[in-house]
């Protein structure tokens, strides 16, 4: 676990440190497209955040290859090299699209080529665990088609959901954490060595998203663009493919004692392939709804619009931050609920917990607007836009603004602070990309 945490932290640190210089490079390169009708941000914001994410991926793989235990993945398997090859191709395609724009069909072809490269290097689905039957071997043609389809669907699902600040990175991070928990359980709980690559990929994916989120949370200073959304979608697909395609169910059968129990233990693997990904069910549902909606209206399935789930949340009155948090909540509920069910499917408390959390989610929809602000002890560790800003009283008289009137500054506590907070003037955060 310590080596996985080290790899995660390195990927997060490199991504975080690279994002600032990448933002300046994107501005200098002119990768700041004009505001489109479907966009929710009001000012041009630089893209190319995928450059920093790709740097975090390379750093994580490099550090992992030098570690004692995790490093065995690189000698016993060709999957890390397959991931890096496919990620490099999809990242390059995304960079070109962020800067100059690429036709949708060309992007689809590039995604299929990247998936084909991974299949050619051994990252493919060899068999499927089917309930009541067991492991079903796939022919080379079936294996290639299924793997390419899964990669393309996952990439576009993540790309479609990347419409609000911090939404795609946060949802993929939540899904990555849930998948890491399942893969780590297979690796160390059942001694399945083939689960080690998927566990490593999930840890690096979490680090990439954690390092990028501080720069991407509303108001975002930089967008990941297609170079980032397609990259993290491919890494997530590679994790699922590595677990499903390489883990031999017979190894788990030796522990569980029956094929039926083995198939049950593989539940979080075959469900992602059928849905196609339970861990990103919200983006997948958004993708399906978008295709149906556009086809019904006589448009191309790749035509952009404002009908995504996050757009609808904004239209019914939710703020930007609340819409993102709502999507986070439902993604976490589905992802962690699936992992919990795989561990204890006979426990009634799991179903009750899911129902209770669903009720909590409905209550959250009725709460007042939420504006993230870091506590005072963390002021020096977060970006300036999340700090409590203080206004000099002398300067406030000159520009007509009010001094710092937080409950702490006014000496209000408890119910008095809550009651007075609604009367305080609201300060709008200004994007630093102006």
Q: Is 162 annotated as a binding residue?
A: no
Q: Which residue has the higher pLDDT, 246 or 231?
A: 231
> In this predicted model, what pLDDT tens digit does every residue of 174-196 receive, in sequence order?
888 888 888 887 777 666 777 88
Contact 122, 78 (CB under 8 A): yes
Place of tokens 């005072």: 376
- Rounded Cα distance, 240 and 1, in Å: 20
The overall average pLDDT reported for the chain is 75
pLDDT reported for residue 410: 41
State the pLDDT confidence band at 7, using cuts at 50, 70 and 90: very high
pTM for the whole thing?
Answer: 0.74
Q: Is 159 annotated as a binding residue?
A: yes
pLDDT tens, 124-140?
888 776 655 666 778 88
The pairing of beta strand 134-137 with beta strand 127-130? antiparallel
Strand partners, 136: 128
Of 241 and 54, the one with more pLDDT: 54
For the chain, what percent of residues have pLDDT higher than 70? Answer: 62
pLDDT, residue 373, reads 65
Q: Judge whether 303 and 351 are in contact, CB under 8 Å.
A: no
Give mean pLDDT, residues 274-296: 66
The arithmetic mean of pLDDT across residues 9-29, rounded, is: 94
The total of other beta-carbon atoms located within 10 Å of residue 367's CB is 9
Placement of tokens 């990309």 in the chain: 433
Is pLDDT at 73 greater than 70 in this prediction?
Answer: yes
Rank 279-288, 399-408, 416-425 by mean pLDDT and report only the highest. Answer: 279-288
pLDDT interval class at 207 (50, 70, 90): very high
User: In angstroms, rounded to a whole number, what is the distance separating the alpha carbons of residues 296 and 299?
Assistant: 7
Helix crossing, 196-216 with 50-65: angle to 10°? 140
């Amino acid at each position: 676990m310590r080596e996985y945490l080290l790899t995660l932290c390195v990927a997060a640190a490199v991504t975080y440190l690279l994002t600032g210089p990448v933002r300046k490079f994107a501005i200098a390169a002119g990768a700041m497209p004009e505001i489109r009708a479907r966009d929710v941000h009001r000012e041009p914001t630089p893209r190319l955040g995928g450059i920093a994410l790709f740097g975090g991926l390379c750093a994580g793989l490099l550090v992992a290859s030098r570690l004692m235990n995790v490093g065995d993945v690189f000698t016993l398997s060709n999957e890390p090299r397959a991931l890096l090859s496919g990620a490099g191709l999809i990242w390059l395609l995304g960079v070109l699209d962020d800067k100059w724009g690429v036709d949708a069909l060309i992007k689809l072809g590039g995604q299929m080529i990247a998936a084909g490269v991974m299949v050619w290097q051994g990252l493919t689905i060899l068999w499927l665990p089917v309930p009541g039957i067991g492991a079903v071997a796939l022919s080379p043609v079936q294996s290639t088609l299924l793997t390419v389809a899964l990669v393309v669907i996952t990439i576009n699902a993540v790309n479609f959901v990347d419409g609000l600040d911090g939404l795609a990175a946060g949802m993929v991070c939540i899904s990555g954490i849930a998948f890491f928990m399942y893969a780590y359980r297979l690796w160390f709980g059942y001694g399945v060595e083939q689960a080690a690559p998927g566990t490593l990929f999930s840890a690096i994916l979490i680090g990439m998203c954690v390092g990028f989120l501080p720069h991407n949370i509303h108001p975002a200073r930089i967008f990941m663009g297609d170079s980032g959304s397609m990259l993290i979608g491919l890494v997530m697909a590679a994790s699922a493919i590595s677990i499903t395609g390489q883990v031999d169910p017979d190894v788990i059968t030796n522990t569980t004692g029956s094929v039926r129990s083995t198939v049950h233990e593989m539940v979080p693997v075959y469900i992602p392939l059928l849905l196609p990904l339970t861990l990103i069910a919200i983006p997948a549902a958004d993708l399906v709804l978008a295709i149906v909606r556009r086809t019904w209206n006589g448009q191309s399935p790749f035509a952009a619009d404002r009908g995504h789930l996050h757009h609808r949340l904004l239209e019914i009155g939710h703020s930007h931050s609340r819409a993102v948090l709502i999507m986070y909540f439902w993604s976490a509920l589905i992802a962690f609920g699936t992992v919990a069910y795989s561990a204890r499917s006979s426990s009634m408390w799991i179903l009750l917990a899911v129902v209770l959390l669903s009720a909590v989610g409905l209550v959250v929809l009725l709460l007042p607007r939420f504006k993230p602000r870091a506590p005072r002890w963390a002021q020096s560790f977060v970006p300036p836009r999340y700090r409590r800003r203080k206004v000099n009283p002398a300067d406030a008289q000159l520009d007509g603004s009010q001094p710092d009137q937080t409950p702490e500054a006014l000496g209000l506590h408890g119910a008095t602070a809550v009651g007075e907070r609604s009367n305080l003037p609201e300060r709008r955060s200004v994007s630093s990309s102006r």
